[in-house]
Structure 1
Amino acid sequence: MASIQQLPSGNWRVLIRKKGHKTISETFADVKLARKFAKEKAKQLEEIKATGKISAPKDSTVAHYIDDYLEHIQPGRTLQRSALFILKALKKRFGKIGIEKLSRSHLDAFIEERKKAGVQGQTIAGDLSMLSSVLRHCSETRKLNIDGEMADNARKSIKTDHKLRIKSRETECIPTQAEMDAILRQYEKMKRQQIDMPAVINFALATSMRQAEICGLKIEDLDFENKTVIIRDRKHPTEKEYNDQTVPLLPKAWEIVLAAVGTRTTGQIFPYKSKSVGVSYTRVRKSAGIKRPTRFHDIRHKAITDFFALGLNVPQVALMSGHKDWQTLKRYTHVKAVHVHSAYEDLSAKNQDAKTLSQNMAFLAEQISELKALTEAK
């Protein structure tokens, strides 16, 4: 099953072939290391054959398998910076724990620590979601004898803990129209701007896109006939990559895009760094005298609220915002009583117009019938 050969270079190659498994090939400078590796792999393959799982190598830690996960994720995938940041923090928090010794009690203690530090439930759930990806990699890809669903189950338990606020602070600080107007006026006073922030802000208001999504849009992904654009790798609750989505650009957004693109045919529609956009917004918000700590991301919440106020339904708003279900989307809506009255009045007016049109059409048909009868009588 395992063969060890010395190569012309002087190194030793281990080659293991077993039916139902991928061929294993590794090279070592020392024959003792090659023999040890061959012995360990042969043992692991026998364990898999008997139980479907293997024991983790001695002294292997959570940190080791976080690194292993990063090295063996799908070829061509590049995790978002936020995901890499989370993995780095997890490595620091759990890194020294043996992978097989990691238990639910470790995760429960982690949740409690984060709660005491004032971290929101949504953020904690995101941390556990990333850890879950690592544990599933260990269980399903590496065939380790561990609970691959441990972190996912801990994450789900957060939803049933009423003392832990799942609702994000982000949804509590929507900028008002007056605040947006003040910020835009402040930008108009600035003669030198490296970033066309008024265009970016108005585009965000017209689309509800995140700042990273806006800055990542490509001219090549525009459909000039259907007035749509593809958002590449859009944020998704479970699928971290390969989640492209085609979204419509409403008249205001399309107008902004055409002005931003000009005669260019390739590259970013808005050639700016996402972080710079956020920093600029926060700085100008303060200089505009707005004390409430709104961020650029909060423009997204205002846009979603405005979509509902306009009368768009849930599937239509979800397509624009990228949300996958109503339970998530409704946390970002801030529809007021006045919006309901306005929508009702608009619908009533439309129904009355339709009723009037129907009556007019009936009257016209009656007149035509009478005129035809008179003509035939003559």
Structure 2
Amino acid sequence: MASIQKLPSGSWRALIRVKGHKPVSGTFSTKRLALDFAEEKERQMEEVRATGKMAAPDGTTVAHYIDDYLEYIQNGRALQRSALFIYKALKRRFGKIRIDKLSMHHLTAFIEDRKREGVQGVTIAGDLSMLSSVLRHCSENRHLNIDPDLADTARKSIKKDHKLRIKSREVECVPTQAELDAIKRQYDDKQRQQINMPAVIDFALHTSMRQAEICGLVIEDLNREEKSVVIRKRKHPTEKEFNDEIVPLLPNAWAIIEDFIDGRSSGFIFPYNPKSVSTSYTRARESAGIKRPTRFHDIRHKAISDFFAMGLNIPQVALMSGHKDWQTLKRYTHTKAADVHTAYANINDKRDENKSINDNMTLLMAQMAELMARSEK
């Protein structure tokens, strides 16, 4: 039941207590508003108790529930700016639509408009996935009588009905060693170049680190005995905090580190802006006449493939790359038929080498036994 109380300030507070629900309260300027609020909330709670769902309150829009969802999930922690930017864009697009009136027609028009803007299918799918989180929040946490799968259904139609690819284009632009060499040559005559891009490119190739990780490394986090470094706040699919990770540095990467430190005992190892590194790489690629739109991040794909070609196993490569599951890591592997033949040949070579060593050891043992037998005579 609801209780209506006049506060010392002159305002009126409505407090509703219903078994099975958290208490709900609100403060209003007049008693009539407090009574109307209490009546509506009691009706909603009764509807939820009877059916499990309730109709969306009058006047509540998609924008209202996007804000409600963000407040619900943040709980003292800030979302990444990229996520907030997408939710802001969704509010501009769908904000004025009543939450219970949002339909497949709205989402289909959204997909087609984004398609005409030249936006990739994977980006559109990501936008709809975030809208889907809001709708599920409305259904599961606010008990609204809406379709929680609406945005998911639209997302699944992107490939079939709208003829857009929803897989990342990253896997198609792995740079070859010849392309990387051509890109590095663009810096040969640039005496005033502030970023040592050839070294940064090589370091990325020997570590598989992202440009933000490379530019965030500090000298204080190096372990010279173990030849390792700590990557602070490493990207994680679910956890946003406490993601520091100790990563080994292979000999070529460690050599680059030592050149960059050059006697310094503190500070950033690579004191560059990550965005500047990415921009510089793209300009050098264009200057080299490379048509494929390979980006600095694509070096990561080649590095991971190279690690597997070296013979590192999945856990070892995952430690280098920071991936937490094989399903994600395998997107970065680009094994070719020739790689399999090379690996098979290496295995056979090692087997032949081991067999030769065993044969030699057997012969040596036999010769020693013969010598000992002679000496005893």
TM-score range, shorter chain: 0.7 to 0.9
Deviations 1:109-133 (A, max 9, x none): 4344444554333222212221122
Conserved? CA contact 1:221–1:229, under 8 Å: yes
- 1:91-102 superposed matches below 5 A: 91-102=91-102
**Which residue of the partner structure matches residue 276 of structure 1?**
276
**Aligned CA distance change for structure 1 residues 22 and 336 (closer, same or farther; 3 Å):** same
1-side partners of 2:312 and 2:81: how far apart?
33
1:234 maps onto 2:235 in alignment: yes
Contact 1:120–1:167, Cα closer than 8 Å, also in 2: no
Q: Is the 8 A contact 1:104 1:154 kept in 2?
A: yes
Distance 1:233 1:142 in 2: 34
- Compute the displacement of 1:326 (Å): 5.4
Q: Secondary structure at the match of 1:34?
A: helix
Structure 2: runs of 5+ lacking an equivalent? none
RMSD of aligned residue pairs (Cα, Å) = 3.6
Letter in 1 for 2:235: R
Distance 1:30 1:98 in 2: 27
Corresponding residue for residue 135 of structure 1: 135
1:293 alignment partner, SS class: coil
Secondary structure of the structure 2 residue equivalent to 1:201: helix
Task: Provide Cα deviations, 1:110-169, integer angstroms capped at 9, x if missing partner.
Answer: 344444554333222212221122112222222222232332344345566794323433
- The answer to whether the 8 Å contact 1:234/1:243 transfers is no
CA contact (8 A) 2:227 2:249 kept: no
Say if 1:247 and 1:320, in contact at 8 Å, map to a contact too. Answer: no
Instruction: Report the Cα offset of residue 57 of structure 1.
Output: 1.5
Q: Is the 8 A contact 1:232 1:242 kept in 2?
A: yes
Give 1:246's aligned amino acid.
E
Q: Give the drift of 1:98.
A: 1.6
Report 1:318-329 matches (<5 A). 318-323=318-323, 329=329
Task: Tell me the amino acid that sits aligned with residue 244 of structure 1.
Answer: N
Matched, 1:23 2:37: no
- Number of the residue aligned with 2:362: 362
Structure 1: gaps of 5 or more residues: none
| Distance in 2 between residues matched to 1:24 and 1:217, nearest whole Å | 49
Secondary structure at 1:4's aligned position in 2? Answer: strand
Q: Distance in 2 between matches of 1:17 and 1:199?
A: 66
Distance 1:271-1:43 versus aligned 2 partners, 3 A rule: farther
Structure 2: distance between partners of 1:82 and 1:73: 16
For 2:12 and 2:41, the matched residues in 1 are separated by 16
- Tell me what 2:266 maps to: 264
TM-score (norm 1): 0.80
Aligned to 1:250: 249
Matches within 5 A, 1:137-156: 137-156=137-156
**8 A Cα contact 2:208 2:321, kept in partner:** yes
Deviation (angstroms), 1:278: 1.9
Distance 1:296 1:273 in 2: 13
Q: Does 1:303 align with 2:303?
A: yes
Is the contact made by 2:54 and 2:143 (CA closer than 8 Å) also made in structure 1? yes
Contact 1:129/1:152, CA 8 A, preserved across alignment: yes
Q: Which residue of 2 aligns with 1:50?
A: 50
Superposition pairs for residues 5-16 of structure 1, below 5 Å? 5-16=5-16
Deviations 1:230-269 (A, max 9, x none): 4636253xx374593736333134454566574227xx65
1:315 CA drift (Å): 5.0
Distance in 1 between residues matched to 2:104 and 2:339, nearest whole Å: 46
Question: Are the counterparts in 1 of residues 236 and 243 from structure 2 also a CA contact under 8 Å?
Answer: no
Change (3 A) 1:366 1:327: same
TM-score by length of 2: 0.81
Superposed displacement of residue 212, structure 1: 3.7
Partner of 1:172: 172
CA distance in 1, matches of 2:286, 2:212: 22
- Deviation, 1:58, is 1.0
Give, in whole Å, the separation in 2 of the partners of 1:135 and 1:202. 45
Q: How far apart, CA to CA, are the structure 2 residues paired with 1:319 and 1:133?
A: 31
Residue 186 of structure 2 aligns to a residue whose secondary structure is helix
Q: Measure how far apart 1:319 and its partner are.
A: 4.5
Pair 1:86 & 2:90 matched: no
Q: Provide the identity percentage.
A: 66
Q: Which moved more, 1:206-215 or 1:243-252?
A: 243-252
Q: Distance in 1 between matches of 2:245 and 2:195?
A: 26
Q: Distance in 2 between matches of 1:119 and 1:210?
A: 24
Does the 8 Å CA contact 1:234/1:245 hold for their aligned counterparts?
no
In structure 2, C-alpha distance between the alignment counterparts of 1:165 and 1:23, rounded to whole Å: 47
Shift in CA distance, 101/42, structure 1 to aligned 2, threshold 3 Å: same
